[in-house]
Structure 1
Protein backbone atom coordinates (compact mmCIF):
# COMPACT_ATOMS: atom_id res chain seq x y z
CA UNK A 1 0.00 0.00 0.00
CA UNK A 2 1.34 3.44 -0.93
CA UNK A 3 1.33 6.16 1.73
CA UNK A 4 0.45 9.51 0.18
CA UNK A 5 1.42 12.94 1.43
CA UNK A 6 -2.19 13.45 2.47
CA UNK A 7 -2.09 10.24 4.52
CA UNK A 8 1.12 11.31 6.23
CA UNK A 9 -0.30 14.75 6.98
CA UNK A 10 -3.48 13.23 8.41
CA UNK A 11 -1.45 10.87 10.58
CA UNK A 12 0.60 13.79 11.90
CA UNK A 13 -2.55 15.74 12.66
CA UNK A 14 -4.03 12.75 14.46
CA UNK A 15 -0.87 12.35 16.54
CA UNK A 16 -0.94 16.03 17.47
CA UNK A 17 -4.59 15.78 18.41
CA UNK A 18 -3.97 12.73 20.58
CA UNK A 19 -1.28 14.62 22.49
CA UNK A 20 -3.66 17.53 23.06
CA UNK A 21 -6.27 15.11 24.35
CA UNK A 22 -3.82 13.34 26.64
CA UNK A 23 -2.18 16.38 28.21
CA UNK A 24 -5.42 18.36 28.31
CA UNK A 25 -7.53 15.60 29.83
CA UNK A 26 -9.09 16.46 33.19
CA UNK A 27 -7.85 13.07 34.40
CA UNK A 28 -4.21 13.87 33.61
CA UNK A 29 -2.76 13.47 37.13
CA UNK A 30 -1.58 16.94 38.05
CA UNK A 31 -4.13 17.64 40.79
CA UNK A 32 -6.36 20.22 39.11
CA UNK A 33 -9.48 18.43 40.39
CA UNK A 34 -8.57 19.27 44.00
CA UNK A 35 -8.92 23.04 43.45
CA UNK A 36 -12.05 25.09 42.73
CA UNK A 37 -10.37 28.30 41.44
CA UNK A 38 -12.38 30.35 43.94
CA UNK A 39 -15.73 28.80 42.98
CA UNK A 40 -16.33 27.30 46.43
CA UNK A 41 -16.21 30.72 48.06
CA UNK A 42 -18.22 32.23 45.20
CA UNK A 43 -21.03 29.78 45.92
CA UNK A 44 -20.80 30.21 49.71
CA UNK A 45 -20.93 34.00 49.36
CA UNK A 46 -23.84 33.92 46.90
CA UNK A 47 -21.91 35.24 43.90
CA UNK A 48 -22.64 32.05 41.93
CA UNK A 49 -26.12 30.60 42.34
CA UNK A 50 -27.17 29.04 39.04
CA UNK A 51 -25.98 28.05 35.56
CA UNK A 52 -26.00 31.64 34.29
CA UNK A 53 -23.80 33.01 37.09
CA UNK A 54 -21.59 29.93 36.86
CA UNK A 55 -21.03 30.66 33.18
CA UNK A 56 -20.15 34.27 33.95
CA UNK A 57 -17.68 33.18 36.65
CA UNK A 58 -15.98 30.71 34.30
CA UNK A 59 -15.90 33.29 31.49
CA UNK A 60 -14.14 35.76 33.79
CA UNK A 61 -11.58 33.10 34.70
CA UNK A 62 -10.87 32.41 31.03
CA UNK A 63 -10.51 36.09 30.20
CA UNK A 64 -8.20 36.54 33.18
CA UNK A 65 -6.09 33.58 32.03
CA UNK A 66 -5.90 34.87 28.45
CA UNK A 67 -4.59 38.24 29.67
CA UNK A 68 -2.24 36.71 32.21
CA UNK A 69 -0.96 33.15 32.33
CA UNK A 70 -1.44 32.53 28.63
CA UNK A 71 0.77 35.45 27.62
CA UNK A 72 3.49 33.81 29.70
CA UNK A 73 2.60 30.42 28.23
CA UNK A 74 3.24 31.61 24.69
CA UNK A 75 6.44 33.45 25.65
CA UNK A 76 7.65 30.32 27.44
CA UNK A 77 6.85 28.16 24.43
CA UNK A 78 9.09 30.38 22.31
CA UNK A 79 11.87 30.22 24.91
CA UNK A 80 11.54 26.44 25.21
CA UNK A 81 11.69 26.07 21.44
CA UNK A 82 14.99 27.97 21.58
CA UNK A 83 16.14 25.84 24.55
CA UNK A 84 16.58 29.04 26.57
CA UNK A 85 16.29 27.95 30.21
CA UNK A 86 17.38 31.31 31.65
CA UNK A 87 14.49 33.06 29.90
CA UNK A 88 12.11 30.38 31.14
CA UNK A 89 13.21 31.06 34.72
CA UNK A 90 12.62 34.80 34.26
CA UNK A 91 9.15 34.21 32.81
CA UNK A 92 8.30 31.84 35.66
CA UNK A 93 9.23 34.48 38.24
CA UNK A 94 6.89 36.98 36.57
CA UNK A 95 4.00 34.51 36.56
CA UNK A 96 4.51 33.73 40.25
CA UNK A 97 4.73 37.42 41.17
CA UNK A 98 1.33 38.03 39.61
CA UNK A 99 -0.42 35.37 41.72
CA UNK A 100 -1.95 37.58 44.40
CA UNK A 101 -3.56 34.90 46.57
CA UNK A 102 -1.96 32.00 48.40
CA UNK A 103 -4.45 29.66 46.72
CA UNK A 104 -3.56 30.81 43.21
CA UNK A 105 0.15 30.38 43.91
CA UNK A 106 -0.32 26.95 45.49
CA UNK A 107 -2.47 25.74 42.62
CA UNK A 108 -0.07 26.92 39.93
CA UNK A 109 3.14 25.55 41.49
CA UNK A 110 1.63 22.22 42.51
CA UNK A 111 0.18 21.62 39.08
CA UNK A 112 3.38 22.86 37.44
CA UNK A 113 5.59 20.54 39.44
CA UNK A 114 3.36 17.52 38.80
CA UNK A 115 3.18 18.31 35.09
CA UNK A 116 6.97 18.53 34.91
CA UNK A 117 7.30 15.21 36.74
CA UNK A 118 4.76 13.53 34.48
CA UNK A 119 6.40 15.06 31.42
CA UNK A 120 9.76 13.58 32.39
CA UNK A 121 8.19 10.18 33.00
CA UNK A 122 6.08 10.14 29.82
CA UNK A 123 8.02 12.25 27.31
CA UNK A 124 11.49 12.19 28.80
CA UNK A 125 12.88 15.21 26.95
CA UNK A 126 16.13 16.72 28.33
CA UNK A 127 14.58 20.18 28.69
CA UNK A 128 11.80 18.77 30.85
CA UNK A 129 14.40 17.06 33.04
CA UNK A 130 16.33 20.31 33.36
CA UNK A 131 13.15 22.16 34.29
CA UNK A 132 12.16 19.59 36.90
CA UNK A 133 15.62 19.83 38.45
CA UNK A 134 15.33 23.61 38.72
CA UNK A 135 11.99 23.23 40.48
CA UNK A 136 13.34 20.60 42.88
CA UNK A 137 16.37 22.75 43.75
CA UNK A 138 14.16 25.86 44.24
CA UNK A 139 15.82 27.77 41.42
CA UNK A 140 12.35 28.54 40.09
CA UNK A 141 8.78 28.16 41.45
CA UNK A 142 7.68 26.04 38.47
CA UNK A 143 4.28 27.54 37.63
CA UNK A 144 1.88 25.49 35.52
CA UNK A 145 1.92 27.63 32.33
CA UNK A 146 5.68 27.12 32.06
CA UNK A 147 5.51 23.34 32.42
CA UNK A 148 2.70 23.14 29.87
CA UNK A 149 4.61 25.32 27.40
CA UNK A 150 7.78 23.26 27.76
CA UNK A 151 5.86 20.00 27.47
CA UNK A 152 4.32 21.09 24.18
CA UNK A 153 7.46 22.69 22.76
CA UNK A 154 9.63 19.59 23.25
CA UNK A 155 7.04 17.56 21.33
CA UNK A 156 6.96 20.10 18.49
CA UNK A 157 3.36 20.95 19.30
CA UNK A 158 2.45 24.58 18.55
CA UNK A 159 1.80 27.28 21.14
CA UNK A 160 -1.76 27.62 19.85
CA UNK A 161 -2.51 24.07 20.97
CA UNK A 162 -0.96 24.69 24.38
CA UNK A 163 -3.17 27.77 24.66
CA UNK A 164 -6.31 25.77 23.88
CA UNK A 165 -5.35 23.07 26.39
CA UNK A 166 -4.71 25.69 29.07
CA UNK A 167 -8.05 27.40 28.54
CA UNK A 168 -9.89 24.10 28.37
CA UNK A 169 -8.30 23.16 31.68
CA UNK A 170 -9.37 26.40 33.34
CA UNK A 171 -12.96 25.81 32.26
CA UNK A 172 -13.13 22.12 33.18
CA UNK A 173 -11.59 22.73 36.61
CA UNK A 174 -14.32 25.22 37.48
CA UNK A 175 -17.17 23.26 35.90
CA UNK A 176 -16.03 20.00 37.46
CA UNK A 177 -16.00 21.70 40.87
CA UNK A 178 -19.48 23.10 40.20
CA UNK A 179 -20.91 19.61 39.81
CA UNK A 180 -19.75 18.84 43.35
CA UNK A 181 -20.70 22.15 44.93
CA UNK A 182 -24.06 23.29 43.55
CA UNK A 183 -27.27 22.22 41.90
CA UNK A 184 -26.22 22.15 38.28
CA UNK A 185 -26.56 19.33 35.77
CA UNK A 186 -24.03 17.71 33.49
CA UNK A 187 -26.04 19.09 30.59
CA UNK A 188 -25.67 22.62 31.96
CA UNK A 189 -21.91 22.30 32.41
CA UNK A 190 -21.41 20.75 28.98
CA UNK A 191 -23.37 23.57 27.36
CA UNK A 192 -21.25 26.12 29.20
CA UNK A 193 -18.04 24.32 28.25
CA UNK A 194 -19.08 24.20 24.60
CA UNK A 195 -19.83 27.92 24.54
CA UNK A 196 -16.67 28.99 26.35
CA UNK A 197 -14.15 26.81 24.53
CA UNK A 198 -15.58 27.91 21.20
CA UNK A 199 -14.26 31.39 22.00
CA UNK A 200 -10.77 30.23 22.96
CA UNK A 201 -9.51 30.13 19.38
CA UNK A 202 -10.78 33.66 18.83
CA UNK A 203 -8.80 34.91 21.85
CA UNK A 204 -5.49 33.40 20.77
CA UNK A 205 -4.25 36.05 18.25
CA UNK A 206 -4.52 38.91 20.76
CA UNK A 207 -2.79 36.88 23.46
CA UNK A 208 -0.02 35.78 21.09
CA UNK A 209 0.61 39.39 20.02
CA UNK A 210 0.91 40.66 23.60
CA UNK A 211 4.24 41.38 25.27
CA UNK A 212 5.22 39.72 28.53
CA UNK A 213 4.96 43.11 30.24
CA UNK A 214 1.28 43.21 29.20
CA UNK A 215 0.54 40.24 31.44
CA UNK A 216 -2.22 41.20 33.88
CA UNK A 217 -5.55 39.79 34.97
CA UNK A 218 -7.63 42.37 36.81
CA UNK A 219 -10.45 40.45 38.52
CA UNK A 220 -10.65 41.77 42.10
CA UNK A 221 -13.72 39.76 43.11
CA UNK A 222 -11.95 36.53 42.13
CA UNK A 223 -8.93 37.47 44.25
CA UNK A 224 -11.14 38.36 47.23
CA UNK A 225 -13.02 35.06 46.97
CA UNK A 226 -9.74 33.17 46.84
CA UNK A 227 -8.59 34.97 49.99
CA UNK A 228 -11.85 34.09 51.74
CA UNK A 229 -11.43 30.46 50.75
CA UNK A 230 -7.93 30.36 52.25
CA UNK A 231 -9.36 31.28 55.67
CA UNK A 232 -12.56 29.22 55.46
CA UNK A 233 -13.13 26.71 58.27
CA UNK A 234 -15.16 24.34 56.08
CA UNK A 235 -13.82 23.44 52.62
CA UNK A 236 -14.32 20.69 50.12
CA UNK A 237 -11.44 21.87 47.94
CA UNK A 238 -7.80 22.64 48.72
CA UNK A 239 -6.46 26.13 49.38
Structure 2
Protein backbone atom coordinates (compact mmCIF):
# COMPACT_ATOMS: atom_id res chain seq x y z
CA UNK A 1 0.00 0.00 0.00
CA UNK A 2 1.38 3.41 -1.02
CA UNK A 3 1.13 6.31 1.39
CA UNK A 4 1.30 9.94 0.26
CA UNK A 5 3.58 11.71 2.72
CA UNK A 6 3.43 15.15 1.09
CA UNK A 7 1.48 17.84 2.96
CA UNK A 8 -1.90 18.62 1.50
CA UNK A 9 -3.29 22.13 0.99
CA UNK A 10 -6.94 22.79 1.58
CA UNK A 11 -7.12 25.98 -0.46
CA UNK A 12 -6.01 24.57 -3.80
CA UNK A 13 -2.91 26.78 -3.91
CA UNK A 14 -0.36 24.10 -3.14
CA UNK A 15 0.00 25.50 0.36
CA UNK A 16 2.13 28.43 -0.76
CA UNK A 17 1.39 32.15 -0.43
CA UNK A 18 0.95 34.42 -3.41
CA UNK A 19 3.46 34.62 -6.27
CA UNK A 20 6.67 36.49 -5.68
CA UNK A 21 7.01 35.82 -1.95
CA UNK A 22 10.23 33.83 -2.31
CA UNK A 23 11.67 36.62 -4.46
CA UNK A 24 10.57 39.25 -1.95
CA UNK A 25 12.24 37.34 0.88
CA UNK A 26 15.45 37.16 -1.15
CA UNK A 27 15.52 40.89 -1.91
CA UNK A 28 15.18 41.82 1.77
CA UNK A 29 17.21 38.99 3.23
CA UNK A 30 20.19 39.94 5.46
CA UNK A 31 22.24 37.93 2.97
CA UNK A 32 21.31 40.23 0.07
CA UNK A 33 24.60 42.06 -0.57
CA UNK A 34 23.77 45.74 -0.14
CA UNK A 35 26.01 46.34 2.88
CA UNK A 36 23.21 47.50 5.19
CA UNK A 37 25.12 46.09 8.15
CA UNK A 38 27.62 48.97 7.86
CA UNK A 39 25.04 51.69 8.54
CA UNK A 40 23.28 52.44 11.85
CA UNK A 41 21.12 55.38 10.68
CA UNK A 42 22.33 57.52 13.60
CA UNK A 43 21.62 54.79 16.16
CA UNK A 44 25.30 54.55 17.10
CA UNK A 45 25.44 58.21 18.13
CA UNK A 46 22.20 57.93 20.10
CA UNK A 47 23.58 54.97 22.04
CA UNK A 48 26.95 56.66 22.57
CA UNK A 49 25.13 59.67 24.07
CA UNK A 50 23.20 57.42 26.45
CA UNK A 51 19.79 57.92 24.86
CA UNK A 52 19.30 54.18 24.36
CA UNK A 53 20.48 51.53 26.77
CA UNK A 54 18.10 48.57 26.56
CA UNK A 55 15.68 46.60 24.43
CA UNK A 56 12.53 48.60 25.19
CA UNK A 57 14.33 51.82 24.30
CA UNK A 58 15.55 50.43 20.99
CA UNK A 59 12.10 49.06 20.25
CA UNK A 60 10.41 52.42 20.89
CA UNK A 61 13.05 54.23 18.81
CA UNK A 62 12.56 52.03 15.76
CA UNK A 63 8.78 52.00 16.09
CA UNK A 64 8.74 55.80 16.11
CA UNK A 65 10.95 56.00 13.02
CA UNK A 66 8.51 53.72 11.20
CA UNK A 67 5.48 55.71 12.29
CA UNK A 68 6.74 59.29 12.31
CA UNK A 69 10.33 59.39 11.11
CA UNK A 70 12.78 58.43 8.39
CA UNK A 71 11.37 54.92 8.07
CA UNK A 72 7.98 56.36 7.17
CA UNK A 73 9.60 58.80 4.72
CA UNK A 74 11.43 55.98 2.94
CA UNK A 75 8.23 53.97 2.67
CA UNK A 76 6.27 56.88 1.18
CA UNK A 77 9.06 57.51 -1.34
CA UNK A 78 9.21 53.83 -2.24
CA UNK A 79 5.45 53.75 -2.82
CA UNK A 80 5.62 56.78 -5.10
CA UNK A 81 8.47 55.24 -7.09
CA UNK A 82 6.58 51.94 -7.34
CA UNK A 83 3.47 53.63 -8.74
CA UNK A 84 5.44 55.81 -11.15
CA UNK A 85 7.41 52.84 -12.45
CA UNK A 86 4.32 50.65 -12.75
CA UNK A 87 2.53 53.23 -14.88
CA UNK A 88 5.61 54.16 -16.90
CA UNK A 89 5.44 57.79 -15.75
CA UNK A 90 9.03 58.93 -16.37
CA UNK A 91 8.60 62.57 -15.21
CA UNK A 92 6.98 61.41 -11.98
CA UNK A 93 9.75 58.88 -11.44
CA UNK A 94 12.42 61.49 -12.08
CA UNK A 95 10.80 63.83 -9.58
CA UNK A 96 10.67 61.28 -6.77
CA UNK A 97 14.25 60.22 -7.51
CA UNK A 98 15.45 63.79 -7.02
CA UNK A 99 13.22 64.28 -3.98
CA UNK A 100 14.50 61.17 -2.22
CA UNK A 101 18.08 62.40 -2.46
CA UNK A 102 17.16 65.93 -1.40
CA UNK A 103 15.29 64.73 1.70
CA UNK A 104 18.28 62.86 3.13
CA UNK A 105 19.13 64.77 6.30
CA UNK A 106 22.89 65.24 6.54
CA UNK A 107 25.94 63.96 4.71
CA UNK A 108 25.93 60.48 6.22
CA UNK A 109 22.21 59.91 5.73
CA UNK A 110 22.66 60.93 2.10
CA UNK A 111 25.68 58.66 1.72
CA UNK A 112 23.72 55.82 3.32
CA UNK A 113 20.68 55.94 1.05
CA UNK A 114 22.78 56.40 -2.10
CA UNK A 115 25.24 53.64 -1.19
CA UNK A 116 22.44 51.22 -0.37
CA UNK A 117 20.64 52.20 -3.56
CA UNK A 118 23.73 51.62 -5.70
CA UNK A 119 24.39 48.26 -4.05
CA UNK A 120 20.74 47.24 -4.46
CA UNK A 121 20.82 48.13 -8.15
CA UNK A 122 23.94 46.02 -8.65
CA UNK A 123 22.78 43.06 -6.57
CA UNK A 124 19.36 42.95 -8.22
CA UNK A 125 20.63 42.81 -11.80
CA UNK A 126 19.69 39.11 -12.19
CA UNK A 127 16.05 40.17 -11.71
CA UNK A 128 16.15 43.62 -13.30
CA UNK A 129 18.46 43.34 -16.30
CA UNK A 130 18.20 46.57 -18.27
CA UNK A 131 15.98 48.25 -15.67
CA UNK A 132 18.69 50.62 -14.46
CA UNK A 133 21.15 52.52 -16.61
CA UNK A 134 24.88 51.78 -16.14
CA UNK A 135 26.16 53.82 -13.22
CA UNK A 136 22.65 54.77 -12.09
CA UNK A 137 22.37 54.95 -8.30
CA UNK A 138 19.02 56.23 -7.04
CA UNK A 139 18.27 56.47 -3.35
CA UNK A 140 17.53 53.10 -1.80
CA UNK A 141 13.72 53.41 -1.47
CA UNK A 142 13.44 54.53 -5.09
CA UNK A 143 15.52 51.58 -6.28
CA UNK A 144 13.32 49.23 -4.25
CA UNK A 145 10.11 50.72 -5.62
CA UNK A 146 11.28 50.52 -9.21
CA UNK A 147 12.37 46.91 -8.96
CA UNK A 148 9.21 45.94 -7.10
CA UNK A 149 7.08 47.37 -9.89
CA UNK A 150 9.29 45.74 -12.54
CA UNK A 151 8.82 42.35 -10.89
CA UNK A 152 5.07 42.91 -10.43
CA UNK A 153 5.44 42.65 -6.67
CA UNK A 154 2.38 44.10 -4.98
CA UNK A 155 2.97 47.48 -3.37
CA UNK A 156 1.81 46.36 0.12
CA UNK A 157 4.16 43.37 -0.04
CA UNK A 158 7.09 45.49 -1.18
CA UNK A 159 6.37 47.98 1.59
CA UNK A 160 6.29 45.20 4.16
CA UNK A 161 9.66 43.91 2.95
CA UNK A 162 11.23 47.36 3.10
CA UNK A 163 9.79 48.13 6.54
CA UNK A 164 10.94 44.81 7.95
CA UNK A 165 14.40 45.21 6.46
CA UNK A 166 14.69 48.72 7.92
CA UNK A 167 13.72 47.52 11.39
CA UNK A 168 15.80 44.35 11.31
CA UNK A 169 18.94 46.22 10.29
CA UNK A 170 18.60 48.66 13.19
CA UNK A 171 17.98 45.81 15.62
CA UNK A 172 21.12 44.15 14.29
CA UNK A 173 23.07 47.36 14.91
CA UNK A 174 21.66 47.61 18.43
CA UNK A 175 22.68 44.01 19.07
CA UNK A 176 26.29 45.10 18.69
CA UNK A 177 26.08 48.58 20.19
CA UNK A 178 23.88 48.43 23.32
CA UNK A 179 24.69 45.51 23.42
CA UNK A 180 21.55 43.40 23.30
CA UNK A 181 21.51 39.68 23.89
CA UNK A 182 20.44 37.75 20.82
CA UNK A 183 17.39 36.47 22.67
CA UNK A 184 16.43 40.04 23.56
CA UNK A 185 16.89 41.13 19.94
CA UNK A 186 14.38 38.50 18.87
CA UNK A 187 11.89 39.85 21.41
CA UNK A 188 12.38 43.36 20.02
CA UNK A 189 11.73 42.12 16.49
CA UNK A 190 8.64 40.26 17.64
CA UNK A 191 7.29 43.38 19.33
CA UNK A 192 7.99 45.41 16.19
CA UNK A 193 5.79 43.21 14.01
CA UNK A 194 2.76 45.41 14.64
CA UNK A 195 4.55 48.71 13.87
CA UNK A 196 6.13 47.15 10.77
CA UNK A 197 2.78 45.97 9.43
CA UNK A 198 1.11 49.29 10.26
CA UNK A 199 3.86 51.20 8.46
CA UNK A 200 3.50 48.99 5.39
CA UNK A 201 -0.27 49.43 5.30
CA UNK A 202 0.14 53.18 5.58
CA UNK A 203 2.70 53.24 2.77
CA UNK A 204 0.43 51.28 0.45
CA UNK A 205 -2.20 54.02 0.56
CA UNK A 206 0.15 57.00 0.95
CA UNK A 207 0.89 59.89 -1.41
CA UNK A 208 3.67 62.46 -1.36
CA UNK A 209 1.34 64.64 0.71
CA UNK A 210 2.02 62.20 3.55
CA UNK A 211 5.72 63.03 3.66
CA UNK A 212 6.77 64.40 7.00
CA UNK A 213 8.89 63.58 10.01
CA UNK A 214 8.85 64.29 13.73
CA UNK A 215 11.99 62.35 14.62
CA UNK A 216 14.24 65.33 15.32
CA UNK A 217 16.26 63.52 17.98
CA UNK A 218 17.11 60.75 15.52
CA UNK A 219 17.95 63.27 12.80
CA UNK A 220 20.24 65.19 15.15
CA UNK A 221 21.90 61.94 16.25
CA UNK A 222 22.63 61.18 12.59
CA UNK A 223 24.29 64.59 12.24
CA UNK A 224 26.30 64.16 15.43
CA UNK A 225 27.53 60.78 14.25
CA UNK A 226 29.59 62.61 11.64
CA UNK A 227 31.79 63.93 14.48
CA UNK A 228 31.84 60.76 16.58
CA UNK A 229 35.46 59.89 17.33
CA UNK A 230 35.05 56.14 17.86
CA UNK A 231 32.62 54.34 15.60
CA UNK A 232 31.69 50.95 14.22
CA UNK A 233 29.25 52.20 11.59
CA UNK A 234 29.32 54.60 8.67
CA UNK A 235 26.22 56.46 9.82
* Bin of the TM-score, shorter chain as denominator length: 0.7 to 0.9
> Which stretch shows the higher mean deviation, 223-232 or 65-74?
65-74
Question: Displacement, 1:8?
Answer: 5.4
| Equivalences for residues 183-198 of structure 1 within 5 A | 183-198=179-194
Work out whether 1:237 is the aligned partner of 2:209: no
Work out whether 1:25 is the aligned partner of 2:29: yes
For 2:44, the equivalent position in structure 1 comes to 40
Pick the aligned partner of 1:85 from 83, 87, 90: 90
CA distance in 2, matches of 1:237, 1:148: 23
> Which stretch shows the higher mean deviation, 82-91 or 47-56?
82-91
Summarize the Cα distance change of 1:195–1:88 in structure 2 as closer, same or farther, 3 Å threshold: same
8 Å contact 2:78–2:141 — kept in the other structure? yes
| Equivalences for residues 47-86 of structure 1 within 5 A | 47-63=51-67, 64-65=69-70, 67-86=72-91
For 1:117, the equivalent position in structure 2 comes to 122
> Which stretch shows the higher mean deviation, 141-150 or 82-91?
82-91
**Runs of 4+ off more than 4 Å:** 6-12
State the TM-score, normalized to the length of structure 2: 0.88
Work out whether 1:224 is the aligned partner of 2:220: yes
8 Å contact 1:37–1:173 — kept in the other structure? no
8 Å contact 1:92–1:143 — kept in the other structure? yes
For 2:210, the equivalent position in structure 1 comes to 214
State the TM-score, normalized to the length of structure 1: 0.86
Count of matched residue positions in the alignment of Structure 1 and Structure 2: 226
Question: Displacement, 1:31?
Answer: 1.0
Gaps of 5+ in 1: none
For 2:151, the equivalent position in structure 1 comes to 155
8 Å contact 1:98–1:216 — kept in the other structure? no
Summarize the Cα distance change of 1:66–1:110 in structure 2 as closer, same or farther, 3 Å threshold: closer
Question: Displacement, 1:207?
Answer: 2.8
8 Å contact 1:77–1:159 — kept in the other structure? yes
CA distance in 2, matches of 1:84, 1:52: 43
Work out whether 1:170 is the aligned partner of 2:158: no
